[in-house]
Amino acid sequence: MLRQSKPIYLYIYIFLISLTSCKVQQSTVSTAQDAPMVLKGPAWAAAWQQKAGEYKALCHQAYNLAHMRLDDLIQQPFDKPLAIVTDIDETVLDNSPYQVHQAIHNAEYSDPSWVEWTARVDCDTVPGALSFFQYAKSKGVAVFYITNRLEEERGATLKDLQRWGFPDATDDHLTMKTTTSSKKLRREKVSNNYEILLLLGDNLSDFSAVFDKKPLEERNDKVRENASKFGNRFIVFPNAMYGDWDGAIYKHQYSLPPQEKESIIMQALKKY
């Protein structure tokens, strides 16, 4: 059993102090005081996700919009059965405790630690998710879950979805990551047999391959080019803890040391 951890507000305080100094530590990350913001920052984002009414309001807003769009779309004639494609993490299930755990231990994401977390089958739901998907199913719309969780997480993922009562939480409606993080081919497989009405996710790559691993400026340009699709066919959920958004800042060089990532991020930020 782990010893009792220091209160999260202490780490948030330390994180804020490190920002004001704007100094990159060169020594080995070993204590909370010298841990760069790429390690401590996700805890601050997790605090917002867990505690802020604004976060919950944004999620309800997104699902309310999805509800209205669904009601409009199901009135139209389609040749194929209807479906919704959704991401899981930070769209359906809330993984903020994992981000807090890693921050407390001065650690970045890793597959082993993530698999250890998902094996606990202890995710909360994203506000509004369960009622929306149950409503969609009641209207005859199939739900497909396309996630970048690993195949070894399939059993735990299904258990988490099933224990909350999410519809279509079955093997044939759940697609895990295999050889690539791109979801393009997995979406196309669904579209071969279904008319996809809506795509839901917290990461731009949940919607289209035009966003996959693109440089920062190109990524933002593609958002502007596809602006009419957001809130129409693409429903986006807030996630400040992780995603391609931060990787794009340091050119998706995920193997860089945390201190180097922080240096690149700090140099990229607007300041005065």
Residue-range domain boundaries for the chain: 8-268
What would the pLDDT profile of 212-244 be if each residue is shown by its tens digit?
999 999 999 999 999 999 999 999 999 999 999
Closest Cα partner for 173 from 136, 203, 205? 136
- Alpha-carbon distance of 29 to 43, in angstroms, equals 17
For residues 3 and 174, which has the higher predicted lDDT (pLDDT)?
174
Q: Which amino acid is it at 4? A: Q
Kindly state the tokens that stand for 105. 């231990």
Residue 101 DSSP code: H
Residue 267: what pLDDT?
96
Domain covering 8-268 in this structure, CATH number: 3.40.50.1000
| DSSP letter for each residue of 205-232 | GGT-GGGTT--HHHHHHHHHHTGGGBTT
User: What confidence score (pLDDT) does residue 81 get?
Assistant: 98
* Closest C-alpha among 237, 181, 251, 236 to residue 209: 181
State pLDDT tens for residues 60-82.
999 999 999 999 999 999 999 99
Residue 16, pLDDT above cutoff 60: no
- Confidence (pLDDT) at 33: 58
